[in-house]
Structure 1
Amino acid sequence: MAFERLQAAYQTARDELLQERNAAGHWIGELSTSALSTATAVSAMSVVLQQTDNRDAYDQQQLQSLVDRGIQWLATHQNADGGYGDTTLSYSNVATTMLVVAALHLAQVTSDHSELLTRANAYIDAQGRVQALRARYGKDKTFAVPILTNCAIAGLADWRDVAPLPFEAACLPQSWYRFVRLPVVSYAIPALVGIGQARYFHRKPRNPLMRAIRAAAVKRSLRVLERMQPASGGYLEAVPLTSFVAMGLASTGRADHPVVRNGIRFIVDSTRPDGSWPIDTNLATWNTTLALNALATAGEDIAALTPSPLPWLLSCQHTERHPFTGADPGGFGWSDLSGAVPDADDTPGAILALKHWSRAPSCTSPDRESSTRAVQAAQTWLEDLQNGDGGWPTFCRGWTEQPFDRSGADLTAHALRAFVLYTEETPPSAPLAKQLAKALQYLASQQRADGSWVPLWFGNQDDPNEENAIYGTAKVLVAWQA
């Protein structure tokens, strides 16, 4: 009876999973709606509305309508303690709450929401305002500086409290970025430029040499920003990052710049029916590889799925050098959208899915050949990304200054699983065998005294340090078992 119940439960879960596919046969999913994203989107559009009357560049009536709807959504999603969390299910935090307050000021609706603001400001005061924000992010300025810039643009912070960002560094060759100890993570170069320039124009350096250097770097770093912007207009397909860049440039009188126009287009396109915005557009590649790997591991013939998701998955592989990170071809990002960037979590997931596909009973010879070519390119890409400590970072090799750029136990474990499955049919070369041994040493060095591993990604808000040791440990154990 127990087995029959388990079998029935499996069948129900399997059927529901398959029903979630779209017409093309893959899984798109939906990310949670977000007060953080909604607040930054409202701020960006409000700044643009204040800074331009160019009716050829913007539909001002549309932007104002979206601002109004975003404000209404924020007004109905305040937490009981007066603060706001990153999502509707998240606990309040000082960063998101400060962004919401700034959005209401920039939208010029403070008199309509005085009670909301009183409660939100009481929460921010209780947390410690700017000091709490800096304590939350430490020396990593990726988030703290854009948030304070948003507040300064709204007139809620002094520009002296906003740390200058060396946007001139963006003018260097991409391969040099990791050597100059930037105060932001590798995937935040757009913020380095957009927010860095906002700080420069609103409060220029007193040092004449630095002022001259940054003045000379304005146009050139803007060209870097343009090259990095994807066709969708959204950096990393992320509303917050894109909004910060757009409001930063718009606040300095450049609301009509192509980067701002394209960023606002992305924000408009990303609006949800209820007037809110998600953190990112989707994680379609991640969702699809997770689903395929789960089905294959359970014994399902994934190559028999109709419509087949294989052509779509193969199309997600990057075949050219990526303009955002300078990554070589071969990797996979989290989505098929233009703003996605190849990374060391989605690439192993894709390798595993493609290997499972090629072993499925219904896999045809042409599909097996296509999968094998894609896997080989992805394996090469992943091999080249390994850090000197033996672990794998998310996007870029050798960036060790900020926590989210360092190697992660979860990423390393995922990469190992992909390599193990690959080497079951193709014995590893001597260099690869050395890399795998070094990766195992890295994982051993990261195990905590209580036996756990903490992942770089995916936290737990109920943990005192917002860490998710269960997820991290599970990822490593699965890899070790493989």
Structure 2
Amino acid sequence: MPEQESRERRIARAAERCATALFDGQRPDGTWPNPRPPAAVGTAAAVLALCLADRGRSAGLIGDGARWLIRHRNADGGWGLLTGSPSDPMATSLAVAALHLAEPGRAAAEVADGLALLESWGGVRGLSDAKAWRQTGLVLSLAGLYDPAEVPRLPAEALLLPAGVRRRALSYYASGFSALSLLQLRRRPWSAVLRPVSARVAAIARDIVERSEEDEGGVGSHGSDPMLTGLICAALQVAGECPRLVRAAVGYLRSVVQPDGSWQLIHGPEVRRDDVIGAAVAGESLARAGHAADARLLRTAEWVLSRRQDRPFPVFGCPPGGWTWTGGAGWPSVYDSVPVLKFLAATGAHDTAVRAGAAWLRRRQDSRGSWSTFVRDTREANDGPCPFTTAQAVDVLVLAGASAADRAVRRALRWLTRVQRPDGSHPSTWNRGGVPATAAVLSTLTRLGLGGRPVAARARGWLLAAQLPDGSWGAGPGAEPGTAEETARATRALAECGGAVERAAAERGLDWLLAAQRPDGRWDAARVCVFTPDHGPYPDGLITQGLALGALTASQRAFRDAALSTGRA
């Protein structure tokens, strides 16, 4: 059909333009620059820490950071996670505390406005989330703006739990919780009867913070996150604890400040910021678009392989063999490891590494059949079982040779069926809306030959209903406008289903993607990645290009396979 041929030619040209743009932006070693956006929380926490622990040497950085915060506050007088994010209590309390210490006179009006906004929410005591109440109160107390005796006590005794139970309870909050516990113990000493227990709690807290930093390479960062690092540094400085860690954190914060005076959402300790997950998503799409043997992409694969963690991470109870998001030593994550393994599988030259990664994933599977991000069997909202991560992990097991009969796969599919929402969608911890996880689950079931199951039918129905009138997808049904990322995910999943209705929807999605491609071969990145649930969506340009390219080539391949199977080729 002429229309079909025209669309195929347009897809091929669009895919080639995207591939050219990706390769043109690649560094000689196979990596890509992919900076995270500036973050008000990271900037405020860094300024707060430097005010308390390094004011003399870092006076210039403190002043630049304070001015950045003033320029980027919201119209309501508060701050959100990122520029443009709605104001929230934690970001606002961090910024208020930082400005009060950094510019006690010049920023008095901004501090007063921020405190007034907190009061309009009911004040620190009015926060419904006890964790937010504690963190906000402790942050303000660091700057002398709140009485620490009024802050609800952290349950620091949780540190006395057996290591496995403690890991599941605290998850990746372990180091921050430990630092704040040390601060609380210094400011609100326990009674004489409990003092021996408090000494034991303090010893465990020190060990967790020290081990976490050492296992991250001993470079001063915690989670490659300026916000967490700044908060830990400030708490330890005021508590008079772990002076080496305070000095190391100051060094990290000084090394990753941006030219405009801000700190990014996430930044590894290296001056040059590398990004494993973005490189993996783009690399897989390039490999499946016909560039698997390209020397430039082979360099990416070698770099990714060199970033594999060769040491355990005891704070998370994690064995060696996974990847972090920044490419350095740090927090091994299932969420970041699965796209790396899918990329290595797509090259066709790293089967041994893929099998080893699949074995690592099997060890990380939750007892309920799902996969979490950092800690097995945790129920922490930012880490616990995630349908998107679980579907992606199943894909890796299949790429390594598993079938639908595999026990780990069967357990994962039972869990995915059990947690599907009544409307047919699945949520994702690290992506907004229902499209990413719903599309991932549908794609996984289709690849396993299980597209006829009710769970797949419900997922298809939800995706079809969520398509917007212009052919795109956004956060969910009725959401406007559509984005390249969500449209790419839904288009690919529906194209691979093979049905006529699904194909028609996928073709409309492809047409939208083709029209949305910029002259330089790229797509605009939208705020669809999520740093914490319901807060701080941010864009990721490299992932955007990888998803769009993957949708173009996978859909084209699916349509050709369908035509061959019906004898219409």
Amino acid at match of 1:163: P
1:429 shift after superposition: 10
Number of the residue aligned with 1:342: 332
Number of the residue aligned with 1:112: 106
1:476 shift after superposition: 2.0
Number of the residue aligned with 1:471: 436
TM-score by length of 2: 0.71
Q: Which of 111, 134, 138 is 1:149 aligned to?
A: 138
Is 2:238 aligned against 1:238?
Answer: no
Q: Which of 186, 204, 212 is 2:196 aligned to?
A: 212
TM-score by length of 1: 0.84
Q: Which of 120, 128, 141 is 1:126 aligned to?
A: 120
Q: Which of 323, 348, 353 is 1:332 aligned to?
A: 323
Conserved 8 A contact 1:191-1:244: yes
Q: Which of 41, 50, 54 is 2:46 aligned to?
A: 41
Cα distance per residue 1:426-474 (max 9 Å; x no partner): x5597xx111111111111121111111111223xxxxxxxx2122222
Q: Which of 272, 296, 307 is 2:258 aligned to?
A: 272
Cα distance per residue 1:76-95 (max 9 Å; x no partner): 11112222111113222222
Superposed counterparts of 1:374-393, under 5 Å: 374-393=353-372
Pick which of 371-380 and 123-132 moved more: 123-132
Separation in 2, partners of 1:203, 1:323: 30
Cα distance per residue 1:263-284 (max 9 Å; x no partner): 1111111100110001211561
Is 2:394 aligned against 1:412?
Answer: no
Change (3 A) 1:21 1:172: farther
1:299 shift after superposition: 3.2
Separation in 1, partners of 2:27, 2:209: 34
Is 2:78 aligned against 1:83?
Answer: yes
Number of the residue aligned with 1:305: 296
Conserved 8 A contact 1:46-1:67: yes
Separation in 2, partners of 1:322, 1:357: 28
1:411 shift after superposition: 0.9
Number of the residue aligned with 1:464: none
Amino acid at match of 1:344: V
Superposed counterparts of 1:335-374, under 5 Å: 335-338=326-329, 340-358=330-348, 368=349, 371-374=350-353
Pick which of 160-169 and 90-99 moved more: 160-169
Instruction: Describe the SS at the equivalent of 1:67.
Output: helix
Amino acid at match of 1:354: L
Q: Which of 185, 210, 213 is 1:226 aligned to?
A: 210
Separation in 2, partners of 1:27, 1:144: 40
Change (3 A) 1:388 1:403: same
Separation in 2, partners of 1:97, 1:475: 35
Change (3 A) 1:260 1:168: farther
Separation in 2, partners of 1:447, 1:28: 36
Instruction: Describe the SS at the equivalent of 1:277.
Output: coil
1:165 shift after superposition: 3.2
Conserved 8 A contact 1:83-1:93: yes
1:202 shift after superposition: 0.7
Q: Which of 375, 382, 385 is 1:396 aligned to?
A: 375
Q: Which of 425, 428, 431 is 1:455 aligned to?
A: 428
Q: Which of 178, 191, 195 is 2:180 aligned to?
A: 195
Separation in 1, partners of 2:352, 2:150: 52
Is 2:386 aligned against 1:421?
Answer: no
1:249 shift after superposition: 1.1
1:24 shift after superposition: 1.0
1:113 shift after superposition: 2.1
Q: Which of 136, 159, 177 is 2:166 aligned to?
A: 177
Conserved 8 A contact 1:164-1:200: no
Amino acid at match of 1:6: I
Amino acid at match of 2:82: T
Separation in 1, partners of 2:408, 2:77: 50
Conserved 8 A contact 1:334-1:346: yes
Amino acid at match of 1:30: P
Change (3 A) 1:372 1:145: farther
Amino acid at match of 1:320: R
Separation in 1, partners of 2:206, 2:112: 39
Cα distance per residue 1:58-88 (max 9 Å; x no partner): xx33x11111110011111111222211111
Report sequence identity in percent.
27
Instruction: Describe the SS at the equivalent of 2:258.
Output: coil
Q: Spell out structure 1 runs of 4+ moving beyond 6 A.
A: none
1:383 shift after superposition: 0.4
Cα distance per residue 1:196-241 (max 9 Å; x no partner): 11011111224x3333311244345323322221322101111111
Amino acid at match of 2:248: N
Is 2:174 aligned against 1:186?
Answer: no
Change (3 A) 1:297 1:311: closer
Instruction: Describe the SS at the equivalent of 2:371.
Output: coil
1:352 shift after superposition: 0.8
What is the CA RMSD across the aligned residues, in angstroms? 2.3
Separation in 2, partners of 1:157, 1:323: 35
Conserved 8 A contact 1:387-1:393: yes
Number of the residue aligned with 1:261: 247
Cα distance per residue 1:294-315 (max 9 Å; x no partner): 2223333354326711221111
The runs of 5 or more residues in structure 1 that have no matched partner are 51-59, 359-367, 460-467
Change (3 A) 1:5 1:398: closer
Is 2:283 aligned against 1:318?
Answer: no
Is 2:409 aligned against 1:436?
Answer: yes
Superposed counterparts of 1:154-173, under 5 Å: 154-167=143-156, 170=159
Is 2:90 aligned against 1:99?
Answer: no
Change (3 A) 1:383 1:144: farther
Conserved 8 A contact 1:351-1:418: yes
Change (3 A) 1:253 1:329: closer
Conserved 8 A contact 2:54-2:250: no
Amino acid at match of 1:147: T
Change (3 A) 1:129 1:450: same
Conserved 8 A contact 1:102-1:156: yes
Is 2:238 aligned against 1:251?
Answer: yes
Separation in 2, partners of 1:84, 1:114: 16
Conserved 8 A contact 2:164-2:317: yes
Change (3 A) 1:452 1:397: same
The runs of 5 or more residues in structure 2 that have no matched partner are 1-5, 268-272, 448-569
Pick which of 383-392 and 280-289 moved more: 280-289
Change (3 A) 1:22 1:148: farther
Change (3 A) 1:30 1:398: same
Amino acid at match of 1:326: G
Number of the residue aligned with 1:481: 446
Instruction: Describe the SS at the equivalent of 1:403.
Output: coil
